[in-house]
Chains A and B, each alone.
Chain A
Amino acid sequence: MVPFPYLLLPSFWSSRNRVRRRERGDALRLTLFGSVGLAVMTALFAGSFWVTLQLDQYAELGDFLLRLALSWLFLTLLSFLAFSGVVTALSTFFLSDDLRLLLAAPIEKGRLFHARFLRTLGQSSWMVVIFLVPVLTGVGVARCAPAGFYITAGLTVLPFAVIPVALGSGITLALVNIFPARRARDILLLMSLLFAASIILLLRYIQPERLLRVESLPDVTAFFTTLQSPITPLLPSFWAGETLFASLQGGYDLLHGAALWTTALGLTVLLRVANDRWYFTGYSRAQEARKTSFTRLAVLERLARLLPLSVVRRTLLVKDLKVFLRDVTQWSQLLLLCALVLVYLYNFRVLDLDRVPYMRGVIRNVYAFLNLGLAGLVMATVCVRFVFPAVSAEGAAYWIIRTAPIELRDFLWSKFWTGLIPVFVLTESLTVAGNELLGIDPFLKVVTAVAIVFMSFALVGLAAGLGARYPRFGADNPTQVAGSYGGVTFMLVAVFYVLVSIVLLGWPSSVYLLSRVRDVPLSAGQQVLMGGCFLTGIVLSLATWWLSMRSGVRALEEMDRTPS
């Protein structure tokens, strides 16, 4: 009989082979991802270091707040890990392709369980571990913690991750025994997105900016009191926070440490027993599920017929919309987007612009460009998630497009228009609503509204073009495509474009507004420079749009290998 780590070898070998394989652009990719990763880690370290130092100034209150912060940090991670465990377990235990091979082989079910659980644990918790390393190091360095703190951190994080992942895997086991696996996957995905959206709204509702105001200190105390509920000491997040806090002060909290380890081991044993009893029934059900219910969306075809489109473009449009709206992994992301939009608008509504009364007008107009910049970044984020993966979303079915008598130009432009309209409507609404809430100068309202038109063309074109240049037809989901080399390249170029656009619009607008406030007419030189800036902004946008699309079409035409 093979030991269970043997069953993890294929994953290990695959990763090793991926690392060994050399491809064009590897160095650039490594530099890009490495720099972004390093920057995020440094920011996390600096952030936690700074917060810990600040709290250190308040002696006992600082200690109390640090314990509370650790407990809340782990509570957030606990819920994340539980959801991640549920979703990952569905894939590793029930939907993974290699299960057919493994279940047909003479492998003792306990060993298969251990191998799959370890894989689930690794896949669902690696992000949490990577996040915790700089955060806890920042806390440790700021408090000059002894070496024991770092060892305790390792010994705490491991059982802390096992507990929610085991619970999540248990929930999946129960769900798969009740629903068909694909339906369970859809339900889980929807639940996790609703959960993420509600966390975002809740965090905004708490209004963390109040913590920065001295006058709201009594409220803050009340706020923290409400956070301490009687149930908190029963949660693993509390045990992890207490264990770490004790070691931070050079001591040991064996009680909470032991609670973590015994619960983790106990849950693993329970899960294994449940697995022995119900796993095969669940796996067997996951193979069933034939006909599924879905929305016919016949109205889409009728509406599309009203549009002045050629048969080919109309056909592509209807197909893309139907596939998008019937795929839970696709449309459910819109829920998250809605939550972010609500938070975005709410932020502008609660902005306190009257704190510096004599600067009110200037601040408003500065915020107008901040609003434009943020709208640009929202646009880039939406594009990388929805437009960039559009070509890759064809997946293995791309042969149908490639062998059809259509021009690939038609295909890519169809993707462009399908993406442009929703992206434009969303960001233009955000900008106009934000500017209305701010009450900015009418001149700036017009400038920013027009800017969004050009930015939409440029960023949607860039996303569609780069998506065609760097497709990932083999990706499991659009998020994977968005996180690929091409996706990161798009985000970098998009952010750079947004910043340059803000500069090109901001400078001439400020010159104009200043001249109006001072009641001094603009000189001819100033007018020429202003016109030049606006013109450069327009040319930059049109060039980004047109060249990206042309490059995308060419890349599709020159593509040597088509998946089929």
Chain B
Amino acid sequence: MIAIHDLVKTFGDFTAVDRVSLEARAGEIHGFLGPNGAGKTTTIRIIAGLLKPTAGRVVVNGHDLATDPEAAKASLGFIPDRPFIYEKLTAGEFLRFHAGLYGIDGAGVGTRVGQMLELFELTEWEQELVEAFSHGMKQRLVMCAAFLHRPQAVLVDEPMVGLDPRGARLIKNVFRKMAERGVAILMSTHTLEVAQEMCDRISIIVQGKIIARGTVDELRQLAGGPGRDDAQLTQVFLKLTGGSGLQEIDGIV
């Protein structure tokens, strides 16, 4: 389970995250949506332990990130939007290194690494340096690392960036399977079709504040009931976040 309570993050005078609270329960895929600059990535980075919050609490599987960071991080898998990894390690070495950071050692590591590489279709690249990988391959390698230690909660920032349709389908299947096994997944995304297809609940953040939360149907109700165009989440999202901004296109392009 991932829970945040009254999270605040300010940068000088600017408040990027303003008293945000949300919870991704065990077995739930929770979507985290919002326009650019709304505070999604800042929130995600705070939960991952990359940014210090100005105020508020982050709890991962019952462990407070501020007071018990090692335990909280040990049960969390994090997938950032940009897959920066050590270019001079091979895929296999990187995963073994990652396992070591999580205290996993011994004969089982090789088998687990092999399983993850096979799952994400990287087996033939195990002995190659990461510097030779494409963006999508690096993204899949980061996912291997995130799931390697069997986390009870997964935090994902833009999961589909750089993935081809086959990779995207694979990720969706993996996330569903994990959720079925009780893993809590908090996922920020711009791809509304992905959110609509996968998420049990969605939180929408605008200007650092959560403005709506619920299932897709509940969000439709919040947006003023099912309209003619509201079959897709896109229309609901645009209504909730302040209009489409598409009115004047004809005169410009």
Interface residues on B, range: 35 or more
Residues of A within 8 A of B51 (CB): 560-562
Contact across chains for A402 and B100 when beta carbons are under 8 A apart:
no
Residues of B within 8 A of A561 (CB): 50-51
If A311-B105, A400-B101 touch, does A290 touch B132 (CB 8 Å cutoff)? yes
Shortest Cβ distance from B149 into A: residue? A405
From A319, A404, A558, A562, give the contact of B86 (CB < 8 A). A319
Give Cα A366–Cα B1 distance, bound, in whole angstroms.
68
If A315-B101, A406-B70 touch, does A399 touch B86 (CB 8 Å cutoff)? no
Q: What is the total of A-B residue contacts with beta carbons within 8 Å?
A: 97
If A311-B100, A402-B49 touch, does A327 touch B132 (CB 8 Å cutoff)? no
Contact across chains for A406 and B84 when beta carbons are under 8 A apart:
no
Interface status of A312 (Cβ within 8 A of chain B): yes
Residues of B within 8 A of A182 (CB): 131
From A296, A397, A405, A564, give the contact of B71 (CB < 8 A). A405
Interface status of A396 (Cβ within 8 A of chain B): yes
Contact across chains for B86 and A564 when beta carbons are under 8 A apart:
no
- Fill in one digit per residue for B113-135: 1 if any A CB lies within 8 Å of its CB, else 0: 00000000000000111011000
Which B33-47 residues have a C-beta within 8 angstroms of A? 45
Within the complex, the shortest CB–CB distance from B200 to chain A, in Å, comes to 25
Contact across chains for B86 and A397 when beta carbons are under 8 A apart:
yes
Shortest Cβ distance from B98 into A: residue? A400
- Fill in one digit per residue for A267-295: 1 if any B CB lies within 8 Å of its CB, else 0: 00000000000000000000001111010
Interface status of A401 (Cβ within 8 A of chain B): yes
Residues of A within 8 A of B52 (CB): 558, 560
Give Cα A395–Cα B89 distance, bound, in whole angstroms.
14
Interface status of A349 (Cβ within 8 A of chain B): no
Contact across chains for A397 and B100 when beta carbons are under 8 A apart:
no
Residues of A within 8 A of B82 (CB): 396, 564
Give Cα A316–Cα B82 distance, bound, in whole angstroms.
22
Size of A's binding interface in residues, CB under 8 A: 36
Residues of B within 8 A of A516 (CB): none
Residues of A within 8 A of B86 (CB): 319, 323, 397, 400
Interface status of A322 (Cβ within 8 A of chain B): yes
Shortest Cβ distance from A473 into B: residue? B84
Give Cα A395–Cα B130 distance, bound, in whole angstroms.
15
Contact across chains for A405 and B129 when beta carbons are under 8 A apart:
no
Interface status of A318 (Cβ within 8 A of chain B): yes
Give Cα A377–Cα B144 distance, bound, in whole angstroms.
45
Give Cα A182–Cα B132 distance, bound, in whole angstroms.
11
Interface status of A204 (Cβ within 8 A of chain B): no
Within the complex, the shortest CB–CB distance from B11 to chain A, in Å, comes to 9
From B50, B74, B103, give the contact of A402 (CB < 8 A). B50
Residues of B within 8 A of A563 (CB): 84
Residues of B within 8 A of A402 (CB): 48-50
Contact across chains for A564 and B103 when beta carbons are under 8 A apart:
no
Contact across chains for B89 and A323 when beta carbons are under 8 A apart:
yes
From A323, A396, A397, A403, give the contact of B76 (CB < 8 A). A403
Which B72-94 residues have a C-beta within 8 angstroms of A? 72-74, 76, 78, 80, 82, 84-86, 88-89, 93
Within the complex, the shortest CB–CB distance from B58 to chain A, in Å, comes to 12
Give Cα A400–Cα B98 distance, bound, in whole angstroms.
8
Contact across chains for A323 and B84 when beta carbons are under 8 A apart:
no
Residues of B within 8 A of A322 (CB): 88-89, 93
Shortest Cβ distance from B101 into A: residue? A404
Within the complex, the shortest CB–CB distance from B35 to chain A, in Å, comes to 21
If A292-B131, A319-B86, A327-B88 touch, does A403 touch B70 (CB 8 Å cutoff)? no
Residues of B within 8 A of A291 (CB): 128-129, 132
Which A501-559 residues have a C-beta within 8 angstroms of B? 558
Contact across chains for B102 and A314 when beta carbons are under 8 A apart:
no
Contact across chains for B85 and A397 when beta carbons are under 8 A apart:
yes
Give Cα A560–Cα B82 distance, bound, in whole angstroms.
19
Within the complex, the shortest CB–CB distance from A186 to chain B, in Å, comes to 12
If A292-B132, A405-B73, A564-B45 touch, does A314 touch B100 (CB 8 Å cutoff)? yes
Q: Which 9 A-B residue pairings sit nearest by Cβ, starting from the closest?
A: A315-B100, A396-B84, A405-B74, A404-B101, A405-B73, A562-B50, A326-B88, A405-B70, A311-B105
20 extra A-B contacts, CB within 8 A, seeds A319-B86, A403-B48, A561-B51: A291-B128, A294-B88, A312-B100, A312-B103, A315-B100, A322-B88, A323-B88, A327-B88, A395-B84, A399-B48, A399-B50, A401-B101, A402-B48, A402-B50, A405-B69, A405-B73, A406-B70, A560-B51, A562-B45, A564-B50
Residues of B participating in the A interface, judged by any CB pair closer than 8 Å? 45, 48-52, 69-74, 76, 78, 80, 82, 84-86, 88-89, 93, 96-105, 127-129, 131-132, 145
